[in-house]
A and B are shown apart, each in its own frame.
Chain A
Amino acid sequence: MKKSALFAAICVPAFLAAAPLAAKTLVYCSEGSPENFYPGVNTTGTSFDASEQIYNRIVEFERGGTKVNPSLAEKWDVSADGTVYTFHLRKNVKWHSNKNFKPTRNMNADDIVFMFERQWKEDNPYFKVTSPNHSYFSDMGMPKLLKSVEKVDDSTVRVTLNQPEAPFLANLAMMWASVQSKEYADAMLKAGTPEKIDQEPIGTGPFSLVQYQKDAIIRYKAFPEYWAGKAKLDDLVFSITPDASVRWAKLQKGECHVMPYPNPADLEAMKKDTNVQILEQPGLNIGYLAYQTTKKPFDDVRVRKAFNMAMNKKAIVDAVFLGSGVPAKNPIPPSMWSYNDSVKEDEYNPDAAKKLLAEAGYPNGLETDLWAMPVQRPYNPNARRIAELMQADLAKIGVKAEIKSFEWGEYRKRAQAGEHQMAQLGWTGDNGDPDNFLHTLLGCASAQSASGSNIAKWCYKPFDDLVTKAKVTTDQAERTKLYEQAQVIFKEQAPWFTVAHAVQLKPVRKEVVDFKLSPFGRHTFYGVDLKGK
């Protein structure tokens, strides 16, 4: 045995180029290990990507878009008052199998009910398995919204809400609502190893899990009986590679086909490589610097305006995003409906800024702090570097800003408590609705709550009235008008220095066919093909 391997080692390196697996194998250089394979308790894109291939949801976003399509539910009816949803499930949807479990039945209403109850009912035996922290289920307001979830028959489920909720279907298309097998769950509970269902997952999705080695590899196989037809790829491999430069080196060598989150520093080289194309899509995000508007000196709008004029946004975005971001003037991204392009950007003008600052009573400048996240975020590749550039710009108008940072969880908590004077943060949209930005990040309710996301602590009545009204309005044209107005007020009052909208860039090798970028940053490999094999 040893001899043959040595022989192979010496004599056949030439064969290495040809894949040892003859099948169509796509390698995705992912950025990290998933926490587990149960998206109900996950919050990170890394974990969602790993589960995405395995599970289906009742309804799903179309690949590459935000439109909601049927999935496990073939069709559904909504009652006239918008509170009762009846889902008609697809028949003949098969489950994967693994060494612990062979399914005896197809997907049915029990599985759908289990999906809800696992996250909803504290007495469900699975409520606490893996983690009792069902983040998205709570964040989307499900505990308050759901009245009942009933199985009508094997292929019909009725969900009753306490009040109508327009984005309900879109919320069900999110990863938290992935459907697991009730039969598998029962079997594992009986065997005394309930956590197995989240570690050795069984799903209905296009790929089944073959092997997972922490920090090294996730290996999937196309599920031949997938209800929508077998995937074009035979095998899918996630090669876990945390370092962005290393991911790029691997992509260059052809060791992987798709990579997420490229290093802005490597973009130039990527554009020159003829084997690689860079897919590009504006992201649903915003990176910003929030002024603590309830504290001196930022309770004065003149100071905030002066700061906005003192910082050279274009230079900052160019230097730090290196082409992977566009300067932001509004709190919502340009690709979102109701984006108000007529809003005028504050001009970079240190002299005017200095004058305005003097007018506000600070002729000799002032001292303040400037917080920077310790981690890279999708909307901000390097908060510290941005802080250093802001610090240098502010020094020119006599402002001495001290850069501060904390451990990431601590950072957000302190910022939400309003301990900062200036703090960077950002947001990535969940469902494509402006409410998810304007009301969540800038509304009064969120400013007053200790765990609210409005870290500028900005509560301005005229603005709040607009976004609250838009929340309960159903007519989209009407809502658009309200949101456009809100953006004008936002700019006048300047609670934030809007930094940039990060562009989603995905370097992909040329042989990859039909990979589509998801506006939510997901990576879906069903429907993707490889050329020339």
Chain B
Amino acid sequence: MLRFILTRVSLVIPTFIGITLLAFFLIRLVPGDPIETLAGERGIDPARHEQLRKEYGFDKPVLVQYGIYLGRVLQGDLGKSMITQEPVLSEFSALFPATIELALCAILFALLIGLPAGILAAIRRNSIFDHGVMGISLTGYSMPIFWWGLILILVFSVQLDLTPVSGRIDVLYYIEPVTGFLLIDTLLSDEEGAFWSAVKHLILPTIVLGTVPLAVIARMTRSAMLEVLGEDYIRTAKAKGLSRFRVVALHALRNALIPVVTVIGLQIGVLFTGAILTETIFSWPGVGKWLIDAIFRRDYPVLQGGALLLGVVVMGVNLLVDLTYGLINPRIRHNR
């Protein structure tokens, strides 16, 4: 068992180094630099520009720069934003809860609707309901979510005035960040109505970000259920005269859930991609928007650090899924 975990964990190291390499060199290739970008119309005198480059260590050979960078990263120092001069790690940890909160809500939303829909579709295979679920989920899967967000804002915020347009909470509430998760922080604070305000702000972004995972989960659940329902032991259970509900709930569902859980784990990378777009549309103060801003401002340290941290998060989740899977399913553990 321990060996299995150790092998898995050791596989992460080359990937990690690879990500640092990619993050460092790819981003170094991006033309332009923040000194130029910030100077605006007035420009900057070349001598002073050179001096500033030296200040930031850009004059050293690239390999040396990478060595210095990797050394610092291993000590937990990801550098400072060139724009705000704040440590990348502290900016990330200030913004990450917002992204996590949104992502968790989106996954929850996707599960709450996707799972039952998928199960029902499988049980009533080829019914109108089945076709409907499959049609809608394929549409959701095909959705350009940046457009979807705009349309939802147009209808629900502007036309119907039901939901706020953007942001995480009404600015009039003064919430001291404790956990960074507003749904929790508002409950801890004594501002009346703040929790409700946070919920209202979450609705549209959750739907937008949850649309693709919802479609994937519904389809995956359905096909996993279909597969399991065709297995011998289910037939046996049915033959034994167990009620339909018991068969589905106890036997089929449990086995069908394994691949579904795996898919959810693998969706995390996809979720971050969606978060970049969703956060841009809803001015959601999370890491996705932060990274987009960093690209346009040529803030190298933020880009490098941000990509690295997101990569680590995805890697961590994948590892966790892998390990859990290994635990649930001993065959995998021994085979490799």
Contact = CB atoms under 8 A, between A and B. Distances in A.
Given A215-B95, A407-B37, A412-B41, A27 B172 contact: yes
B38 A16 contact: no
B193 to A, nearest CB: 5
A349 interface: no
A501 B164 CA distance: 35
A75 B52 CA distance: 37
B76 to A, nearest CB: 18
B290 interface: yes
Contact of B34 (A217, A246, A256, A409): A409
A456 to B, nearest CB: 14
Contact of A20 (B39, B172, B195): B172
Given A9-B193, A237-B172, A409-B298, A35 B84 contact: yes
Given A239-B167, A407-B37, A413-B36, A133 B52 contact: yes
Nearest to A16: B193
A1 B39 CA distance: 50
A184 to B, nearest CB: 17
A424 to B, nearest CB: 11
A360 interface: no
B172 A5 contact: no
A451 B32 contact: no
B101 interface: no
A43 B195 contact: no
A44 B38 contact: yes
A199 B85 CA distance: 9
Interface residues of A, number: 68
Interface string B169-209: 01111100100000000111001111111010000000000
Given A246-B283, A249-B157, A451-B46, A409 B195 contact: no
A131 B85 contact: yes
B40 A412 contact: yes
Contact of B174 (A33, A36, A219, A406): A219
Contacts of A217: 171
Interface residues of B, number: 58
Contact of B298 (A5, A8, A406, A407): A407
B172 A25 contact: yes
A240 B32 contact: no
A453 B158 CA distance: 43
A199 B283 contact: no
Contacts of B44: 135, 451
Contact of A213 (B35, B177, B192, B289): B177
A81 interface: no
A132 B54 CA distance: 11
B322 interface: no
A274 to B, nearest CB: 17
A410 B36 contact: yes
Interface in A173-227: 195, 198-199, 210-211, 213-217, 219
Given A5-B187, A131-B85, A211-B174, A407 B41 contact: no
A199 B36 CA distance: 23
Contacts of A8: 192-193, 195-196
A421 interface: no
A124 B31 CA distance: 33
Contacts of A15: 192-193
A417 to B, nearest CB: 10
Contacts of A43: 38-40, 42
B173 A215 contact: no
Contacts of A20: 172-173, 191-194
Interface string A138-178: 11000000000000000000000000000000000000000
Interface in B260-310: 283, 285, 289-290, 296, 298
A133 B41 contact: no
B219 interface: no
Interface in B46-66: 46, 48, 51-52, 55
A9 B195 contact: yes
Interface stretch (A317-325, A425-433, A492-500): A425-433
Contacts of B196: 5, 8-9, 13, 16
A255 interface: yes
B174 A199 contact: no
B193 A213 contact: no
A132 B52 contact: yes
Contacts of B85: 35-36, 130-131, 195, 198
A416 interface: yes
A420 to B, nearest CB: 15
Interface string A11-34: 011011001110001010000010
A308 interface: no
Contact of B42 (A130, A139, A377, A408): A139
A503 B165 CA distance: 27
A132 to B, nearest CB: 6
B168 interface: yes
Nearest to A407: B32
A450 interface: yes
Contact of A128 (B41, B55, B95, B285): B55
A5 B195 contact: yes
A412 B51 CA distance: 20
Contacts of A213: 94, 177, 285
A149 B136 CA distance: 72
A57 B12 CA distance: 54
A469 to B, nearest CB: 24
Contacts of A199: 86
B232 to A, nearest CB: 47
A453 B168 contact: no
B20 interface: no
Contacts of B197: 16
B221 to A, nearest CB: 31
Given A27-B171, A132-B52, A410-B31, A214 B38 contact: no
A214 B87 CA distance: 13
Contacts of B165: 246, 249-250, 253
B162 to A, nearest CB: 12
Contacts of A249: 157-158, 165
A499 B42 CA distance: 19
A461 interface: no
Given A5-B186, A16-B193, A27-B172, A35 B83 contact: yes
A242 interface: yes
B166 interface: yes
Nearest to B279: A215
Interface string B7-44: 00000000000000000000000011111111111111
Contacts of B86: 36, 195, 199
A8 B164 CA distance: 18
B283 A241 contact: yes
Contacts of B32: 406-410
Given A8-B195, A243-B166, A409 B283 contact: no
Nearest to A416: B43
A428 B174 CA distance: 36
Interface string A357-401: 000000000000000000001000000000000000000000000
A139 B194 CA distance: 46
A531 interface: no
A116 to B, nearest CB: 19
A6 interface: yes
Nearest to A211: B174
Given A1-B187, A21-B172, A213-B94, 6 more contacts: A5-B196, A20-B194, A246-B165, A250-B165, A409-B298, A412-B40
Listed from nearest, the 4 A-B pairs whose CB atoms lie closest are A409-B36, A409-B37, A9-B196, A215-B285
Interface of B: 31-46, 48, 51-52, 55, 83-86, 91, 94-95, 157-158, 161, 164-168, 170-174, 177, 186-188, 191-197, 199, 283, 285, 289-290, 296, 298
